[in-house]
Amino acid sequence: MKMIRAIIRPEKSEEVVEALAGAGYVALTRMDVAGRGKQKGIHMGNVYYDELPKVMLMLVVEDNEVEEVLEIVLKTAATGSFGDGKIFISPVEEAYTVRTGAPGL
């Protein structure tokens, strides 16, 4: 299993969630976050924004589903501008359902 964390523009989050749901990936966590990337914020005239609002989507998928999810997020979240976001993929050793204690997804 893999954990996919996609940090994307807030205005693209609904579109990405709908695209993932359309492909059968309905279980995810959505969080409003703030941060900065390599550009270290943004300068607009005399105003400097150190951290920008983003949305982080987190989902756990089977190893063979990673490429499909990655393709959906990359295609749907991209605007072609700086600040489109970042995707992190990490291994997940175990997962359990809290209500039942059952292992797995």
Long-range contacts (CB closer than 8 Å, 24 or more residues apart) made by 34-39: 35/7, 37/82, 37/83, 37/86, 39/82, 39/83
Overall size of the chain counted in residues: 105
Q: Scanning the structure block, which residue is given the tokens 């279980």?
A: 27
State the Cα–Cα distance between residues 64 and 68, nearest whole angstrom. Answer: 8
User: Whole-prediction pTM value?
Assistant: 0.86
- Residue 39, pLDDT above cutoff 80: no
* Domains observed in the chain: 2-91 (3.30.70.120)
pLDDT (average), residues 27-45: 81
